[in-house]
Amino acid sequence: MPRIGSGGAPLDPIQNPYAPGAGTLPPALVGRDRELERFDFLIGRLGRGGSEKSLVLHGLRGVGKTVLLTEFASRAERAGWSALRHEWRRESDFRTAIARLVGAAIAAHERPGRVRRALRRARGALGSFTTAISTEGQVSVGFQWEPERGLADSGELEQDLGELLAELGALAAESDSGVVLLFDELQLLGLEELEGLVAALHRLAQERLPVAMVAAGLPTLPGLLLEAKTYAERLFGFPALGALAPEASERALREPAAELGVSFSDEAIAAIMAESGGYPYFLQEWGKAAWNAARGGAIDREAVAVAEAVVAEELDEEFFGLRMERASGAELALCVALAGVGEGPQPIREVAAAMGREPKALSPARAGLIRKGLVYPAGRGEVAFTVPHFGRYLRRRVPGGAEHR
């Protein structure tokens, strides 16, 4: 890697190593060693016929959940496993999406020559599953295999999904391989889909088949899974992701620059850490802007000061602003009041009091914000923003706090 930055010349923006973006792998994936070790242990155990809890990552937006799913996919594929990735949306057709993922995994296990029994049964299970989910008798998933009578064809999601994934697991086991389901935004699934998924994974765990799930979602996700099936607490591990520790935050900034011969002053590091709060996405935004503002071979406090306006504009327009555009007038008023009450989860009664309203009167706006992914129910009678520093943004861009209602 060439070393850059000498004299008073600006740093080359083309070689800027920082990578803010939705799910973009950062140049230095730091502070998540425990989660990476847990994933390696998970597929290692299952690959040897052992048992281990699948993983459910949960946290606010911008903490690196999707980044970890990307890294997990790479690690799984290097281990010879199939990595089936899907980001759920409210409009997703659960059964069709599952059928397409499983179909791709089955196709990946096909080999020239004789059709093995495990492959034939997996194909038949998928044929039955796709037939059962369509009133016309078929669904477009890109695969056309004959149904296997009595296998994954009951029309009951829990039973059919369990049988389908069990046949997929048996096929993978025969190939000395495994399958990992990597699901993002899992909190968007309905209760029936979550019940079916948890029940299917419970069956796979009981049969010690090499199929695992790693899901990611907002802080509400663990509670939703427990609501679906009470035994979910024994089926999954629930790593909570938050801001990086100070040491990891510093490494996330220093290491990519050092590889290119560029250093950070201690004052620059302290300023970025104070502004970013250690949240991974914000660290990448600050690193990128500070690099572009620096001159010579060092990023100093002056460069960070210049970067401040750039970062504020970038976050306000692309990160915060786009989300806020989805809110109605009543929803915006609730958000502004929530920002004015304080940081973190706040009792809805205090938000209502700040607006001069009764808590029940806020129910429609609260429900709309939850549906749009702007806030989440943080506890009994509490609500919080899903995005770090969203309150700061509102206080900066909508002066007056709770007076705007």
CATH of 326-403, one of 1.10.10.10, 3.30.420.40, 1.20.120.80, 1.10.357.10: 1.10.10.10
Contact indicator for 13, 291 with CB cutoff of 8 Å: yes
What is the domain partition of the chain in residue ranges? 13-20+246-323, 33-237, 326-403
pLDDT on residue 300: 97
The Cα–Cα gap between 405 and 337 comes to 8
pLDDT digits 0-9 by tens, 185-211: 999 999 999 999 999 999 999 999 999
Residue 405, CA distances (Å) to 337, 375, 381, 386 in order: 8, 17, 21, 21
Question: What confidence tier does 6 reach under pLDDT thresholds 50, 70, 90?
Answer: very low
The CATH code belonging to domain 33-237 is 3.40.50.300
pLDDT digits 0-9 by tens, 97-117: 999 999 999 998 887 655 588
CB count within 10 Å of CB 192 equals 12
pLDDT on residue 111: 75
With both helix axes pointing from N to C terminus, report the angle between 157-174 and 117-132 in degrees, rounded to the nearest 10: 160
CATH of 13-20+246-323, one of 1.10.287, 1.10.3470, 3.10.450, 1.10.8: 1.10.8
Main-chain dihedrals φ then ψ at residue 250, nearest 5 degrees: -65, -40
The Cα–Cα gap between 10 and 306 comes to 13
Average pLDDT, the chain: 91
pLDDT digits 0-9 by tens, 150-188: 889 898 999 999 999 999 999 999 989 999 999 999 999
**Token output for 201:** 């994974």
Contact indicator for 391, 385 with CB cutoff of 8 Å: yes
Mean per-residue pLDDT, 223-229: 97
The Cα–Cα gap between 289 and 306 comes to 8
pTM, rounded to two decimals: 0.91
pLDDT digits 0-9 by tens, 239-285: 999 999 999 999 999 999 999 999 999 999 999 999 999 999 999 99
